[in-house]
Amino acid sequence: MKQYAELYKKELLDQIVPFWEKYSLDKENGGYFTCLDDKGHIYDTDKFIWLQARQIWTFSNLYQEVHKEVAWKEIALLGAGFLEKNGRDTAGNWYFSLNQKGNPLVQPYNIFSDCFAAMAFGALFKIEPKKRYADTAKTTFDNILRRQENPKGKYNKIYPGTRNLQNFALPMILCNASLELEHLLGVEQVEKVTDSIVDLIMNKFYHKESGLVLENISETGEFVDSFEGRLLNPGHAIEAMWFVMNLGIRKNDNALIEKAEKIMFQQLEHGWDKRYGGIFYFMDFKGHPPQQLEHDQKLWWVHLETLVALAKTYAYNQNPKAKIWFEKVHEYAWNHFRDKQNGGEWYGYLNRQGEVFLHLKGGKWKGCFHVPRALLEVWKTLENGF
Amino acid sequence: MKQYAELYKKELLDQIVPFWEKYSLDKENGGYFTCLDDKGHIYDTDKFIWLQARQIWTFSNLYQEVHKEVAWKEIALLGAGFLEKNGRDTAGNWYFSLNQKGNPLVQPYNIFSDCFAAMAFGALFKIEPKKRYADTAKTTFDNILRRQENPKGKYNKIYPGTRNLQNFALPMILCNASLELEHLLGVEQVEKVTDSIVDLIMNKFYHKESGLVLENISETGEFVDSFEGRLLNPGHAIEAMWFVMNLGIRKNDNALIEKAEKIMFQQLEHGWDKRYGGIFYFMDFKGHPPQQLEHDQKLWWVHLETLVALAKTYAYNQNPKAKIWFEKVHEYAWNHFRDKQNGGEWYGYLNRQGEVFLHLKGGKWKGCFHVPRALLEVWKTLENGF
């Protein structure tokens, strides 16, 4: 597996990072353009907080983990300045999107904006230790914990009481965000937050009888037979499993790592499209038609996060099954998402058959994050071990 | 074209109506099951107000327009009783969805629930003239007009002022709903509501330079270069054009009918997939990647509403172009959406290549409405003229 380390490193540093350095910087207004076509041309100038924050995180992390490249720190600061100036409402909640100049377009209904902002400023503080970056990360994180019970606030359209569901995404992101912010939160808070979340994920969202991870469960942790309750998102579950593996390594908890490995393989085997290859985006627990019209598409992040989970598994115990699956998913991802013609960032959206159907490198939901993070994680994991 | 009248009538009465009569009735709780697989089996029991109301409308309309079948009136009443009892909050706004027993699941964020409820009770009043049905239709319609400026109310996530957009859907539905409710609203109110809307649609949403109908425009009626501003929905625009044709007939305004015809052909020619056939679901005004991952799919309602628009055009002026296009869309629709194996209601969702990828006859957004309404409209239009 060692030979993949070099390949992933080369792709990251020769293709992916230069693409974003070259095409995404808004030097006039600050922040980044993320709506870039396959030639790198900007086709839309709106700025989505998820993606602004994630790009700050990525360039801070490259500076921290790869080498101290001054240009990378400057790119991180270009986004941070823009977000500090424009990103929050008066209560400190992060908007969902801004226009090119930074005027708010969409209200702070989406708590993942806050999650990625906390991670961005936490990572930036590591490479540029200004107190205000740490403060932004910490107050944002506290705000997330405070909003945790009703993350959408007044924008929540669910009628209370009839069918209250818990959603998988926030606990999952908090596993990752807590670890990312440990230098600011301290060991005790990280343990307090993650212990209960890991229990929730591994014993409630993980539905033991079926071996599948549910996206939504009842307040008491039960399966609910409805569109939301039947929803499966294999990529989400697999990504969460490598977050849990990281927590297991940190706690030296082999049983937890092995349970995460088992659950990861179950989602992968269940989510793999035996007809066309690749991993489905959404599935229905009972095999009924999902409500998501895009359910059978193959998305970049699903496959890249799976490669990270498989690399980590292999690094942990050299399980030959991890190698077989890594090579299978690697083949699929490199042959389908990678842009052989133009190079640069990878494509993101394939139809079920594996054909690119959106000729973009970035958009409203795809920015400078999953591809570079996964390439870096796979490279470092296969080179240095877990 | 006359020979199609018999075909559409037969399909409506032998396949579509019996399917919903047989599989959709919840005799225990009232209302209808709409989540039905290709064999008619119920795969989910939630009740979506759009679809409950539309089925009341459809069966009331069949009773009114086809023949006085007592069973059809009973089916309409089965839904109406359920909605009267469970459908509204204390302010008279219609919820988005209820569970099987009628407890609210999703709040009244979506004004189209109200639009279809007004149409349902308006149509029911025609066949069962109880005052309370008329009252429900009228108060709901007044409520829609009152909420018109900010239909989503507190659930509106747009930050005010940066980029205020007007959306096409509500004006479009109001064209149709006003005519449907003329027996309750009176001629004067219908004219007041529709005159300004027709102007808005035909002179603002219709972008003269490009010949395309925009889904979202600025407050002053301009094109806005953003994801929402570039959005095209050819099926929506084509459906709106037959609503406008109906208004033109009512007003004896030939220029309006001919403008609607021209605009309809422009959307159809632009929206037709020259590679695989069928009409795209969403497109981007500038040809950029749309944000909707389902944009290149082929949806049943788009094609059925197009057949209605073409039948009306042909009935109006025997334009041979309308015949050519009718036969082309007819071939596509009957060969792809119709279920040759199981019969009954048609399929709804095809991938770009034209393959059924959701094996359902109804779901969260597809119920007993577009197929029967279009079959009836085509049949009656080709048999009797406009």
CATH of the domain at B208: 1.50.10.10
Q: Which two tokens stand for residue B127?
A: 């066949």
Q: Check CB contact under 8 Å for B104 and A162.
A: yes
Indicate whether this model's pTM tops 0.90. Answer: yes
Distances (CA, A) of A138 to A59, A125, A148, A326: 20, 11, 15, 36
Rounded CA gap, B52 and B32, in Å? 6
Domain that holds residue B145: 2-384
H runs (alpha helix) in chain B? 2-11, 17-23, 49-65, 70-86, 111-127, 131-147, 169-180, 182-185, 187-200, 227-230, 234-251, 254-271, 300-317, 320-336, 370-384
A376 touches chain B (CB under 8 A): no
For A35, which residue in chain B has the nearest alpha carbon? B289
Cβ–Cβ below 8 Å for B109 and A157: yes
pLDDT tens digits for B267-317? Answer: 999 999 999 999 999 999 999 999 999 999 999 999 999 999 999 999 999
- Confidence (pLDDT) at A128: 98
Say yes or no: A43 contacts chain B, CB-CB below 8 A: yes
Q: How far is B286 from chain A (nearest CA, A)?
A: 9
Taking each helix axis from N to C end, the angle separating B300-317 and B370-384, rounded to the nearest 10 degrees, works out to 10
**Scanning every residue of chain A, which has its alpha carbon at the shortest distance from the alpha carbon of B165?**
A105
As a whole number of angstroms, the distance between CA A51 and CA A53 comes to: 5
Does B152 contact chain A (CB < 8 Å)?
Answer: no
| A232 contacts A255 by C-beta, under 8 angstroms | no
Chain A: residue nearest B286 by CA? A43
What pLDDT, on the 0 to 100 scale, is given for residue A386? Answer: 77
Query: What is the side-by-side order of every strand in the sheet holding A35-37?
Result: A42-44, A35-37, A360-362
End-to-end alpha-carbon separation of chain A, Å? 13
Tokens describing residue B181? 């409710």
Give the residue from chain B lying closest to A290, CA to CA. Answer: B358
User: Minimal Cα distance from A161: which residue of B?
Assistant: B105
What is the distance between the alpha carbons of residues B280 and B235, in angstroms, rounded to a whole number? Answer: 8
How many Cβ atoms from other residues are within 10 Å of residue A131's Cβ? 8
How many domains does chain B divide into?
1
Size of chain B, expressed as the number of residues it contains: 386
Residue A183 has a pLDDT of 97
- Between CA A85 and CA A94, with CA A91 as vertex, the angle to 5 degrees is 55
Enumerate residue ranges in chain A where pLDDT < 50: none
**Whole-Å CA distances, B379 to A333, A371, B65, B192:** 50, 54, 11, 31
Looking at residue A10, its pLDDT comes to 98
Q: Which residues of A touch B291 (CB under 8 A)?
A: 363-365
B162 touches chain A (CB under 8 A): yes
Q: In this predicted complex, what is the ipTM? A: 0.96
B88: Cα within 13 Å, side-chain hemisphere = 18
DSSP character for B120? H
Distance CA A94, CA B341 (A): 52
To the nearest whole Å, the CA of A212 is away from the closest chain B CA by: 20
Contact yes or no for B162 and A103 at CB 8 A: yes
B297 in reach of chain A (CB within 8 A): yes
Q: Are B308 and B315 in contact (CB under 8 A)?
A: no
Q: Say if the Cβ atoms of B99 and A158 lie within 8 Å.
A: no
Which segments in chain B show pLDDT lower than 50?
none
What pLDDT is recorded for position A385?
A: 85
Count CB neighbours of A334 within 10 A.
Answer: 15
Question: If you write DSSP's letter for every residue of B306-337 in order, what string do you get?
Answer: HHHHHHHHHHHH--HHHHHHHHHHHHHHHHHT
User: B239 — contact with chain A (CB < 8 Å)?
Assistant: no
Number of CB atoms found within 10 A of residue B276's CB = 15
Interface mutation target, options B95, B293, B297, B299, chain A, most CBs of A under 10 Å: B293
Those residues with Cβ within 8 angstroms of residue A374's Cβ, 6 or more apart along the chain or in another chain: A304, A305, A307, A308
From the list A105, A289, A293, the residue facing B159 with the nearest CB is: A105
Rounded to whole angstroms, the Cα distance separating B245 from B176 reads: 11
